[in-house]
Amino acid sequence: MKNRVINLAVMVIGGLFAIQIAIWILGSLVPDLWWILLLADGGFITWRLVEVWPQITTQKQGGTPEAVNNPPPVHTTPMPFITVPSHAPKATGKQAIAELEAMTGLGNVKEEINKLIARISLEKRRREQGLQVSPMSLHMVFTGPPGVGKTVVARTLGAIYRDLGVLKKGHVVETDRAGLVASYVGQTAPKTKDKVTEALDGILFIDEAYTLTGGKGGHDFGQEAIDTLLKEMEDKRDRLVVVVAGYPAEMRSFINSNPGLASRFTKTIEFQAYSPPELIEIFQGMLTKEDLRLAQDWPEADLQGWFSSRVRDPSFGNARSARTLVERVREAQATRLSADMGADLQTITADDVKGAMASC
């Protein structure tokens, strides 16, 4: 680059010197010609600068004029896509029914679900043959103590309704009073509508629904939530199924508190509390799913007595209490094996079970 500038300077100075000599000679011969030759001098300098300037700027950029005017094609590697994991496939109606059949107890619940499937299937066949179809309400009341599978059965219904063409999605949106009722005037109706919108084409499952009518004082908005829900159920009756759940006595009072509720929730399924033998079966099934097994001398009679003494308590959690017991069993096992690195990690001993029962 430096040599290029020097050569340009020498060229320009030499050209100026030659032109000055020519101007001096010709000016002495023709006095009026000097200003014409001066213009020619400036034109020569301008021409040389225009001619060599692209070469100078090209060398500053580190290339040739051809490279500047015709840059090489840019080859880029395509940006790879992020691998997005697909969502777990939804359970089909047949899978949901199989899971329900595998659940311990719930004999009357399974019978009611089978009746419902038969009725919907028959109405579907009549519709396909162009016969008169009777309207039927799919909204339901689930009554029973906690921990007896009401939410699981609601999810099963969603899958069944989807496979039978009753609902497009069949998903279940779980909520309670807190998800429907706001604390200030004017907020409950929009909050309830938002929850309904979330459940469209599926099931809205409202646990402990009786609490919507349990408020006291002039600032309870549970009734506003009920009124809004009833209107949404009517306006969106082809896209929404509502299941309300709670204790039997409280749910009867809830349904009877409003004529609109009684006319829309015409079917009630009662969930019975589990018996001690059923709870032992549930307990064993939970252990099996966690790769644990009971020792041959495990205290089955003691465990049955433990369950029998607790099922009389109205607040007993049924399968939830069995789950709590499993957690206590694992804690007892972990304490026992903490100093034994070579111990059997699957076997649950009699002491583990007894220690768990004592801690619950």
For 26, counting Cβ atoms within 10 Å of its Cβ (0-12 exposed, 13-18 middle, 19+ buried), the class is middle
pLDDT of residue 93: 75
- Pair 322, 282: CB distance under 8 Å: yes
Q: Write down the pLDDT at residue 312.
A: 85
pTM, whole model, 2 decimals? 0.71
pLDDT given at position 252: 95
User: What contacts 151, CB < 8 A, 6 or more positions away?
Assistant: 172, 174, 205, 207, 245
CA distance 109 to 356: 31
What separation, in Å, do the N-terminal and C-terminal C-alpha atoms of the chain show? 89
pLDDT of residue 248: 94
The helix/strand/coil state of 28 is helix
Burial class of residue 317, CB neighbours in 10 A (0-12, 13-18, 19+): middle
Strand ranges, E, within the chain: 140-143, 172-175, 202-207, 240-246, 267-270, 293-294, 347-348
Q: What is the pLDDT along the chain (360 residues), one digit of tens a residue?
A: 556 656 666 665 666 666 666 666 656 665 555 556 556 666 666 666 656 555 555 554 445 545 445 555 555 555 454 444 444 446 677 888 888 888 999 999 999 999 999 999 999 899 999 999 888 889 999 999 999 999 999 999 999 999 999 999 999 999 999 999 998 888 999 999 999 999 999 999 999 999 999 665 556 799 999 999 999 999 999 999 999 999 999 999 999 999 999 999 999 999 999 999 999 999 999 999 999 999 999 999 999 999 999 998 888 999 999 999 999 999 999 999 998 888 899 999 999 999 999 998
With vertex at residue 288, the alpha carbon angle to CA 285 and CA 291, rounded to the nearest 5 degrees, is: 160
Token pair, residue 333, equals 């096992």
Helices (runs of H) and strands (runs of E) counted in the chain: 15, 7
